[in-house]
A and B are shown apart, each in its own frame.
Chain A
Amino acid sequence: MLIDRKQYTWVAVSIALGAGATLAYVADATRPGARPGGGTILGLTLGGAGLAIMCFCALLSVKRKVPHWRLGRAQVWLRAHVWLGLLLALLVALHSGFKIGGAMTGFLWIMTVVVVGSGIIGVAIQQVIPRLLLESLPGETVAQQIDHQIADAAAQARSVVVKYAGSVDAPAPPWTEAAAQTPVPTPPPITPAAPPPTSATGSLAAPKSAGDTKLATPAASPLPAAAKAATPSVAASGGKPPAGGEPLRRFYLDAAAPFMLRPAGSPLLNPSHARSMFIGLRRVCPPHIHPGVDDLEALCQRRRHLLAQRRWMAALHGWLILHVPLSYLYLIAVFAHAVIAVRYTR
């Protein structure tokens, strides 16, 4: 939920309720001989209000199970959940008279901090990560498609290399022996002036401008059009791959294929380093192989994006793993506290 002007109503409601509760507490606590706490009329009232807010907040997850029921717009529910949830912390503090109390109330204090805190963290995350996803990942896909897209990118990378360098499994065919003498490129020093790689189509390459980002389509990446261009590819050369593809093949086997399979620890994981490696690869490949290098670079970038998306998605939703179960545990504990307090106190 993005904090914007639409939140003002609920912010105002929460502030008003919080101010009212605080004033009442101050008035009650400053009475001669007053002992503010949960056992007073005001304390019980504040505790009851807090419990009601907890129950309401918990109902959000029930509402999500029946999204088409006419129970009010989901965004209103979420706004109320967030701002009343914040108010809850204040009500708990006023209810307890700012005292930790015994083991049970101490536990409830900890739970209050953890649940409200995790919620605040969640809202904070939601201010940042959606924007990051929007700006950095024009090829973002739905989360359930990430594994499929990874497999698709790996298969496309293999196809590109087969097209430009022959089989990636068999030893290098004789016509590429000369090229095989060429050393595998090592990353040149990174220079700020290094030009960004460009794809023949731009469809898979990094967006070259903000305009590209705006128009990017996050559909499953087709094989870049460069692979179909009039280059002396396998098909165009009568079944033989074009000469000079051996550096590309070795680069694929040594660096790109492992990266596609398991990116952790790969030098291609770092965009700057990867760019340098591909610049080096272009230097040792003849020009007619460059479209294949471009395509492979774009696919490696796509793999990086998918990895980044997975991580960001985990961060975007991961806090809920803590927040939701603990909220229910908190609610149960609060009910137990209320029953014990009402049943056995006094």
Chain B
Amino acid sequence: MAKATTIVGLEGEPLTAEDIKSIPILADAGIGDTAGKLLDQFVGSIVRRRFASGDVICHEGEGGNTAFVLLEGEVGVSIARRNERTKRGSFLAALGSLLGQKPVSATVHHDPSTLVPIDASVDLRYGDLVATLGPGEVVGEMSCLNLAPRSATCVAKSPVVALEMVRNIYEKLQSAPTFKARNDANYRSRALAGHLRNVPIFEGLPASAIDRLRASAELHTFKAGTPIVTEGDAADGMFLIRNGQVRVSKKMPGGELTLAYLTRGDFFGEIGLLRGTTRSTSCTAYDHPKDESGAYKKGTFQSKASSAELVKIKSAEFDWLVKEFPQIKARLEALAETRARATHEAQTQIVPTSYPKHVEDLGLLQGQGLLLIDLEKCTRCDQCVQACVASHDDGVTRLVREGPRYDKYLVPSRCRMCMDPLCMIGCPVGSIRRAPDLNMFIEDWCIGCGNCARQCPYNSIQMHDLTSLGMQDDPGVERAVRKDRAVVCDQCSTLPQGPACVYACPHDAAVRVNAREFFSLTVSASRAVLADSPA
């Protein structure tokens, strides 16, 4: 037998193999023997912890690598929502505010019923960011598996007994069918109805219809890399993503074109059902990029290959919905039209032309909204950066005037609106999103894990200290303070005049272009196009 070594040292009462057999949730899961062997090797990797009422079990934003399984008591789980900055400083800013020249808010306000995904078996409502968990439920799964910061603060509402465990133990527990079944049952009873209501096309459905869908929905898990639907297959249901990422792609000459990455709360598969056609795209449980040897590419998000957990609404239920609720059919048709158009546009952007090699090397072709600075015109006055700062209420620039050069153009570090937005891969709470107009934005429930910033190949996402942003938590609510927050260029999408950096450039040096159109011309022709563009 291997020599036992205390390598974990969690606070609390270490469990032995015998203890595990006496705890129903673990014994029922049938992991007593395997966990027992692990415990022989890694003493202290699962502990029993007791919390008095009011004790904080974990703080939002803190690092963590353990999961908690609740045995007794109730736990209040909540997240802080950042308000806008309360101080904007200058007289001119105050005057501008009075005149309606409000800066772009870093906080996107949602409908109070919008669900905010957290690292627990429930989701929170945007309007009431508090929920209660009870025995048998799990908190901290994402931190345990992916080392993501805690997405919520958990406070004991009554005396609580919980098991805290590290990843190798939790993985054993997770793979036990009974534990999975219990989790699924919890999800179906507590969270599924909310997820269904949160799907935009189901908005306004009566409770009875939601209940019918909830009862009939199937819960599926797909391992990373597994096809969920394949282009050309018959459509037999639509899917709602409960956890994980899904890549949507379409076959093209020469390979597959990635159309989108979908994440928790997104849905797909409705077009084939609605039109009675075969699948128009393929959807795959997404895995992180690997090299030829199968290892994760250096610099990409390092985590265990994850799976995608999906809710499937079968075609019979879908047909019933469409028949009973005409408004849903109308929404679906509008959505199908939008998605078909987006797919067509993505396909037509594959211009069969050759680009200068440097353009490809610098990844410029990814840019659907690429900012270029003409260095012949630019006087380095920094107005673009100052405009970016002034036009956002958090006072943080999204534009760093450094980056690679192509010809006379500087490609600054700023979101390029990539065709293949790698930044969206690996967000544990689905807070980085893409708007219909292709802009990227970050929801205010970002937990500051930094995955998006690490994933972005062009250093276009920065992590900023929240305290330096002057953000405040909801007044009167006791919350932990998150330390960092991701900041990405939102293309000033709410400003009618477009990106502030371009608008404020007095020298006509900053331009925003679609890289594929811009670089398909020769550089000299591009210059001519810019020169002829209206002022």
Contacts and interface: CB of A to CB of B under 8 A. Distances in A.
A291 to B, nearest CB: 25
B506 A77 contact: yes
Contact of A67 (B377, B390, B496, B508): B390
Nearest to A133: B375
A62 B380 CA distance: 19
Nearest to A70: B497
Nearest to B411: A217
A66 B101 contact: yes
Contacts of A133: 375, 380
Given A134-B408, A214-B407, A215-B405, A74 B531 contact: no
Contact of A216 (B376, B382, B405): B405
B489 to A, nearest CB: 14
A13 B153 CA distance: 64
Interface string A97-141: 000000000000000000000000000001001110110001001
What DSSP secondary structure best describes chain B's contact surface?
loop
Contacts of A66: 92-93, 96, 101, 390
Interface string B395-417: 00000111111111000000000
B383 A64 contact: yes
Contact of B531 (A6, A141, A317): A6
Interface in A51-91: 62, 64-70, 73-79
A189 B507 CA distance: 45
B496 to A, nearest CB: 7
A67 B496 CA distance: 14
Given A130-B378, A215-B404, A76 B535 contact: yes
Given A66-B96, A217-B405, A219-B402, A316 B380 contact: yes
A130 B358 CA distance: 23
Interface string B501-529: 00111111000000000000000000000
A204 to B, nearest CB: 16
A6 B535 CA distance: 7
A143 interface: yes
B386 interface: yes
Contacts of A65: 90, 92
Nearest to A142: B401
A215 B358 contact: yes
A2 interface: yes
A65 B92 CA distance: 8
A214 B507 contact: no
A74 B504 CA distance: 5
Contacts of B407: 214
Contacts of A5: 531
Contacts of B500: 67-68
A130 B383 CA distance: 15
B376 A214 contact: no
A62 B96 CA distance: 12
Give the one of B90, B378, B379 with max A CB within 10 A: B379
Given A75-B535, A214-B407, A70 B496 contact: yes
B507 A1 contact: yes
B507 A67 contact: no
Given A68-B391, A214-B358, A126 B402 contact: no
A75 B506 contact: yes
Nearest to B404: A217
A194 to B, nearest CB: 28
Contacts of B380: 130, 133, 142-143, 313, 316-317
B377 A1 contact: yes
User: Interface extent on A, as a size class?
Assistant: 35 or more
Give the one of B93, B358, B503 with max A CB within 10 A: B503
B305 to A, nearest CB: 32
B503 A74 contact: yes
Nearest to B492: A68
Contact of B381 (A62, A79, A317): A317
B103 A68 contact: yes
What DSSP secondary structure best describes chain A's contact surface?
helix
B495 interface: yes
A7 to B, nearest CB: 10
B525 to A, nearest CB: 16
Contact of A1 (B382, B504, B506): B506
A218 interface: yes
Contact of B507 (A78, A138, A216): A78
Contacts of A67: 383, 386-387, 390-391, 500, 503-504
A75 B93 CA distance: 22
A72 to B, nearest CB: 9
Interface string B363-392: 000000000000111111111001100110
A215 B409 CA distance: 10
B535 A68 contact: no
A2 B402 CA distance: 21
A216 B92 CA distance: 40
Contacts of B92: 62, 65-66
A75 B507 contact: yes
A4 interface: yes
A329 B60 CA distance: 55
Give the one of B361, B406, B496, B508 with max A CB within 10 A: B508
Interface in A1-23: 1-2, 4-6, 9
Contacts of A2: 376-377, 507-508
B371 to A, nearest CB: 15
A197 to B, nearest CB: 22
B375 A134 contact: yes
Give the one of A6, A65, A130, A216 with max B CB within 10 A: A130
Nearest to A74: B506
Contact of B506 (A69, A78, A143): A78
B96 A69 contact: yes
Contact of A73 (B492, B496, B535): B535
A183 B311 CA distance: 79
A214 B406 contact: yes
Contact of B405 (A4, A9, A138, A317): A138
A214 B375 CA distance: 12
A99 to B, nearest CB: 36
B401 to A, nearest CB: 5
A69 B101 contact: yes
Given A74-B505, A78-B506, A214-B405, A68 B377 contact: no
9 contacts: A65-B92, A66-B96, A68-B497, A130-B375, A130-B377, A130-B379, A130-B380, A134-B376, A217-B404
Interface pairs A-B: 6 shortest CB-CB: A67-B504, A67-B387, A68-B391, A78-B506, A74-B506, A134-B375
Interface of A: 1-2, 4-6, 9, 62, 64-70, 73-79, 126, 129-131, 133-134, 138, 141-143, 145, 213-219, 313, 316-317
Given A1-B379, A66-B93, A141-B402, 7 more contacts: A2-B508, A62-B92, A66-B101, A74-B506, A130-B379, A133-B380, A215-B404
